[in-house]
A and B are shown apart, each in its own frame.
Chain A
Amino acid sequence: MLEISNLHANVEGVEILKGVSLSVKEGEVHAIMGPNGSGKSTLAQVLAGNEEYEVTEGGVTFLGKDLLEMPAEERARLGVFMAFQYPVEIPGISNAYFLQAGLNEIRKSHGLEELDAMEFRDLLRAKMDMVAIDPRFAERPVNEGFSGGEKKRNEILQMAVLEPRLAILDETDSGLDIDALRIVADGVNKLRDPKRSMILVTHYQRLLDYIVPDYVHVLYKGRIVKSGGKDLALELEEKGYDWVKEEYATA
């Protein structure tokens, strides 16, 4: 479903991704871990289509299409969704208005009828219920004045509404207390589907207790330096990254 091969990307002239290759099949959940600054968010942003990041080498296909050729909105319409590590605040625009517009753009691109305000409201209610967000958040400006945890939950709400084929969750667990983490993880698990793939970027095993991944990868200095099953995350939790770094240095 997603094929990343030898991906190199620069930010402001500095190479951050130095040859990432990763294959994600339909329905799989992959966790990407790795020390701060190793390029995890960069990878997520490149996949989502952020033009601040310049791809210099390699390629990405998604559902058989060349993802890198497409502007971000087309990727979203094709089913790519990224939950931001740092979601922006959008003054003056309500969550409901924002999400209805996004969903309808995606629906239109698939030749589906747009939802009117009533239909959308019902859908949004149900999704808010699912991720345990207060219905009043529908009318609040997107992320404005939300707490860190509320912003993360709002990202999951958006994912629930937009129903992507590939969800990239960039540290959606960071900054959540235990209850919020459980709610978010429950929400994500409800969205697990044989047709939906996920990439979870995380620093913490505790997320992976709830959302059990099929594969775990370690990204270090712009490369995937180790891959394994869910046990790799436990090992990292226990031993830290030093042994991976050492392996990398001697390799």
Chain B
Amino acid sequence: MVEVAERIDDKAHYLGDLGRVKSSSPEWINALRRDACARFESLDFPHKRMEEWRFTNVAPIVRTRFRSTLEPAAHGLTAADLVGLAYGVPEWSELVFVDGFYSPDLSRVQPGVRAGSLSDALAGDAETLRPYLNRYLNGSGSAFTALNTAFMLDGAYVSVAKERAVEAPIHLLYITTGLNAETASHPRNLIVLERHASATVIESYASLAVDVTYFTNAATEIAVGEGARLEYIKMLNEGTNGYHLATTRVHQDRDSSFRSFAIVQGGRIARNELGVVLDGEGASASLNGLYMTGGEQLVDNATSIEHAKPHCTSWIGYKGVLDDKSHAVFSGKIMVQRNAQKTDSNQLNQNMVLSDKATIDTKPLLEIFADDVKCTHGATVGRPPKELVFYFQTRGMSEAMALGMLTYGFADEVVNQIEVEPVRARLEKFVYTKYSPIPG
């Protein structure tokens, strides 16, 4: 095979920036970074011959010589700049990260809530984080995941002590300013719920830069302890030339429950990898998603659930609405280990394709090593059935109007399951405005 003259495997710009990362104390953090750096150097960037990246061409990201932001910038942002991005609910904790770094001035943390900057937490109380940090990502993920660990400069650290219920949501908001073009940030997050703890965490990505090219390379590790309950909403709304690659790993102990929503709105290329390990009996995971693509967007939701112990249940339900020349990719991988009997696992990926030029690649992948399990999967691609459209017509509405309303209803079905009212309300307005043919 003849490669194009341009070298697309150039890592020099990342390695150069990694060389400028100041060493931290304690030493084990530097060791983590060094190992990850070695891994980054040894791995190829994702390419189409890798099974997990078959449909997801990240060459535009690989090709751009992004410079990584190494320290907080003097961004000068105020709360007024965050209108429509932050929620500003007084009872919530809202942590704002600007170009990858925690911005205390823009943030508010409720008394008694342990949420803040990862770098502060490492500087202050590294030993508490040590059992968790890089435990679930270690040795897995792509070169970009390794790159995230190699930087590990900042991000969010959220910790909920055992038996504690944090009622008010914790919103982690990541803003790209776009002050400098072709920059990369590598936010690194750690969320730990101890035994019987509960919380709602919202992780959202947005941009103040309309056209600027930038790259968010995020990684999040989540530990859900025994009997703990986490509601986790990820909202991805990067700029039109924003690239976003994220790896999220969730580890669940027995009787824990994890429910997630991944809502993808904006971004030139967005890949959201979410992997869950059900590592204790009676644990349950529910992964829900909605991607709404248009233009020339490429959006990939790569989900996976490993049933490592018996009597766990899992659900993966993602919906997509695809328009223009956009391309969406969905994969749902279920692995049931030999001893994970009585596994109950279901998945459904439904796609509404509005344009002839939009494409979807959807694939379930089941690896089942136990025999007493119930696993189902399904995928649909297409437009609403004619008989549905006809029903609208008999009530005076045109076909175009029926399709618009059905598209709105299709998307809203995911959104209206979100229990956090301000998030749901904002998203409902978004899907209504985007798809409903009736002015609101």
Q: Which residues of A contact B (CB under 8 A)?
A: 48-52, 71-73, 75-77, 80-82, 84, 87-88, 90-93, 97-106, 109, 141, 158, 162
Q: Give A100 to B399 CA distance when docked, in angstroms.
A: 16
> Within B394-426, which residues are at the interface with A (CB < 8 Å)?
394-399, 401, 405-406, 408-413
Give the residues in chain B near A82, CB-CB below 8 Å.
Answer: 394
B110 to chain A, nearest CB (A): 33
Q: Is the CB of A93 within 8 A of B396?
A: no
B228 to chain A, nearest CB (A): 32
- Known contacts A52-B386, A90-B391, A101-B401, A141 near B396 by CB under 8 Å: no
Nearest neighbor of A107 in chain B, beta-carbon distance: B396
Q: What 8 A-B pairs have minimum CB-CB distances, sorted nearest first?
A: A92-B409, A102-B395, A72-B393, A93-B409, A105-B396, A92-B413, A76-B396, A106-B396
Q: Is the CB of B406 within 8 A of A93?
A: yes
Assess whether B388 is interfacial by the CB under 8 Å rule: yes
Q: Give A104 to B409 CA distance when docked, in angstroms.
A: 19
Q: Is the CB of A76 within 8 A of B393?
A: yes
Give the residues in chain B near A103, CB-CB below 8 Å.
Answer: 396
Interface of A, helix, strand, loop or mixed by DSSP: helix
Q: Is the CB of B409 within 8 A of A84?
A: no
Q: Is the CB of B409 within 8 A of A73?
A: no
- Known contacts A93-B408, A141-B409, A88 near B387 by CB under 8 Å: yes
Q: How many residues of B contact A (CB 8 A)?
A: 24
Known: A76-B396, A91-B409. 14 other contacts (CB 8 A): A52-B386, A73-B397, A76-B393, A80-B394, A88-B391, A90-B406, A90-B409, A92-B413, A93-B406, A93-B408, A98-B405, A105-B396, A105-B401, A162-B396
Q: Is the CB of A101 within 8 A of B409?
A: no
Q: List 28 A-B residue pairs with CB atoms under 8 Å apart, sorted by A's residue number.
A: A49-B390, A49-B394, A50-B390, A52-B386, A73-B392, A73-B394, A73-B399, A76-B395, A80-B394, A82-B394, A84-B391, A88-B387, A88-B388, A88-B391, A90-B391, A90-B406, A91-B409, A92-B413, A93-B406, A98-B395, A100-B438, A101-B401, A102-B392, A105-B395, A105-B397, A106-B396, A141-B409, A162-B396
- Known contacts A90-B406, A101-B405, A109 near B394 by CB under 8 Å: no
Q: Is the CB of A49 within 8 A of B393?
A: yes
Q: Give A222 to B218 CA distance when docked, in angstroms.
A: 66
B384 to chain A, nearest CB (A): 9
B365 to chain A, nearest CB (A): 27
- Known contacts A50-B390, A93-B405, A101-B405, A162 near B395 by CB under 8 Å: yes
Q: Give A71 to B386 CA distance when docked, in angstroms.
A: 14
Q: Give A109 to B398 CA distance when docked, in angstroms.
A: 12
- Known contacts A88-B387, A92-B410, A76 near B394 by CB under 8 Å: yes
A160 to chain B, nearest CB (A): 13
Q: Give A106 to B438 CA distance when docked, in angstroms.
A: 14
> Within B370-391, which residues are at the interface with A (CB < 8 Å)?
386-388, 390-391
Q: Give A189 to B257 CA distance when docked, in angstroms.
A: 53
Give the residues in chain B near A99, CB-CB below 8 Å.
Answer: 395
Give the residues in chain A near B398, CB-CB below 8 Å.
Answer: 71, 73, 105
Nearest neighbor of A71 in chain B, beta-carbon distance: B393
| Centre residue among B392, B393, B394, B438 by max chain A CB count within 10 A | B394
Q: Pick the residue among A48, A93, A104, A141 that contacts B394 (CB under 8 A).
A: A48
- Known contacts A101-B401, A105-B401, A81 near B409 by CB under 8 Å: no
Q: Is the CB of B412 within 8 A of A92?
A: yes
B73 to chain A, nearest CB (A): 43
Q: Give A71 to B394 CA distance when docked, in angstroms.
A: 9
Nearest neighbor of B431 in chain A, beta-carbon distance: A92
Give the residues in chain B near A80, CB-CB below 8 Å.
Answer: 394
- Known contacts A90-B406, A92-B409, A93-B405, A77 near B388 by CB under 8 Å: no
Nearest neighbor of A102 in chain B, beta-carbon distance: B395
- Known contacts A73-B397, A102-B397, A87 near B390 by CB under 8 Å: no
Q: Pick the residue among B387, B390, B413 that contacts A91 (CB under 8 A).
A: B413
B366 to chain A, nearest CB (A): 26
Q: Is the CB of A90 within 8 A of B388?
A: yes
Q: Give A102 to B401 CA distance when docked, in angstroms.
A: 10
| Centre residue among B386, B391, B395, B437 by max chain A CB count within 10 A | B395
Nearest neighbor of B416 in chain A, beta-carbon distance: A92
Give the residues in chain B near A52, CB-CB below 8 Å.
Answer: 386
B395 to chain A, nearest CB (A): 4
Q: Give A103 to B395 CA distance when docked, in angstroms.
A: 8
B397 to chain A, nearest CB (A): 5
Give the residues in chain B near A73, CB-CB below 8 Å.
Answer: 392-394, 396-399
Q: Is the CB of B396 within 8 A of A102?
A: yes
Give the residues in chain A near B412, CB-CB below 8 Å.
Answer: 92
A108 to chain B, nearest CB (A): 9
Nearest neighbor of B404 in chain A, beta-carbon distance: A101
Give the residues in chain A near B399, CB-CB below 8 Å.
Answer: 73
